[in-house]
Copies of this chain bind each other. A is one copy, B any other.
């Protein structure tokens, strides 16, 4: 796995502050969000540093961060004495802090409204308002999320952006940061680049890596990254200007490595692809889930607008529920067990009937850690996708812990549904 060392590409450092992140009470979402955004706009992310609110460590992290072309800081913008990001950014950047009167009025208004809403006195808010309205000289206010202002600040050779810590607020202010003049000036320096995305399901990482090597490997203006995620493989090619022909050659070699397993040339999540395929074909979907416990339904309904094709799921965890909701026959359960291709088939057929969908998909398996046997080990999962015209069944033995097996099974289920829908289109 290589960095993204495209020629002259500006580099960024992300500094995340929040003591609760270091105690893992909360898992940081801002670092991954900002890293994804950096990749999208063509900057290289050099480092993510997560520190608490210890002023010395936070100052050191900011000083290190502003060595890069872009320093993105999240958190520490609140009204209390522990929130020191702005003060320390000003210090590290050699700027004075000054109260912005317009900002002070805005924050004051919001604070008064909030105090009124929760029925508390406004007394004691003033100091926090003045603190939150104090920004480094020359800084640009990116807007308010709650009472915390995001700011962009041009320093010598670096653009620093401070954003609030709550992920919802950070993501709300991020577009303003992107559109701000300091960041736009930086983005003008990003060399143009082409990007190819190839996504596979059911191909070994080593096969793809060997195909890449046989085609000459990357380098000479093309950077290739290959990464596995929940048993999907993602290959990305970042192409410097002038290396397009070489990139095309590599793309062709990578396609030839597993043409049947290549399922996408873009980044749409598999659940979105399934919904779009069904929508194009005018088909409704339902699932019957056992070991995934609702995860397939949850992934499909995470996509806004899923309701026009996804009707619902029968999560039949207990055997009696498989019979009661889906009509799985007690004989099948007794003879073959709930974890069997026969049961998967009856679950899918039953879901099509019970939920009155055009297509239904079933998952039944052993997620562990208990419940396995020599015959049917932990990780064994059966799938079935069925439509009026066609039925596909699959058996996979996953390795990993309970959480991984459930995630892998969810992705495998979505891919089987995609295959069925794609074939339905071809018939």
Interface residues of A (CB under 8 A from B): 1-4, 18-28, 31-33, 35-36, 39, 45-54, 57, 61, 82, 118, 120, 168, 171, 204, 206, 225, 227, 229, 234, 284, 286-287, 289, 291-298, 300-302, 304-307, 310-318, 320-321, 324-325, 354-356, 367-370, 400-404, 406
Contact = CB atoms under 8 A, between A and B. Distances in A.
Main secondary structure of the interface of A (DSSP, over half): mixed
Given A227-B25, A229-B26, A314 B315 contact: yes
A146 to B, nearest CB: 11
21 contacts: A2-B53, A3-B54, A20-B225, A22-B35, A24-B33, A25-B234, A45-B52, A46-B51, A46-B54, A47-B61, A49-B50, A293-B301, A293-B306, A294-B315, A298-B298, A301-B367, A304-B402, A310-B317, A311-B317, A312-B315, A314-B314
A321 B2 CA distance: 49
B53 A355 contact: no
Contact of A3 (B52, B284, B297): B52
A47 B51 contact: yes
Q: Which 5 A-B residue pairs are closest in the complex by CB-CB distance?
A: A294-B294, A293-B301, A294-B297, A313-B315, A24-B35
A293 B302 contact: yes
Contacts of A403: 302
Nearest to A238: B23
A302 to B, nearest CB: 7
Given A35-B22, A206-B120, A304-B368, A50 B48 contact: yes
Contact of A294 (B35, B50, B289): B289
A1 B82 contact: yes
Contacts of A293: 294, 297-298, 300-302, 306, 313
Contacts of A301: 291-294, 315, 317, 367, 406
Contact of A31 (B50, B204, B298): B50
A48 B22 contact: yes
Contacts of A404: 168
Question: Which of A47, A286, A404 neighbours the largest number of chain B CB atoms within 10 Å of its CB?
Answer: A47
Contacts of A311: 316-318, 320-321
Given A51-B47, A307-B318, A302 B402 contact: yes
Nearest to A36: B24
A320 B295 CA distance: 22
Given A48-B50, A168-B404, 16 more contacts: A1-B19, A3-B52, A21-B48, A22-B35, A23-B36, A46-B52, A47-B52, A47-B61, A49-B50, A50-B50, A120-B206, A284-B318, A293-B298, A294-B301, A312-B317, A313-B313
B354 A324 contact: yes
A316 B324 CA distance: 16
Contact of A47 (B33, B57, B310, B313): B57
Contacts of A18: 1
Contacts of A45: 22-23, 52
A63 to B, nearest CB: 13
A33 B24 CA distance: 7
A301 B364 CA distance: 13
A367 to B, nearest CB: 8
A227 B318 contact: no
Nearest to A326: B312
A339 to B, nearest CB: 12
B369 A354 contact: no
Contacts of A52: 3, 45-47
Contact of A25 (B25, B225, B292, B294): B225
A266 to B, nearest CB: 14
Contacts of A306: 293, 317
A31 B168 CA distance: 22
A317 B370 CA distance: 32
Contacts of A19: 1-4, 225
Contacts of A286: 321
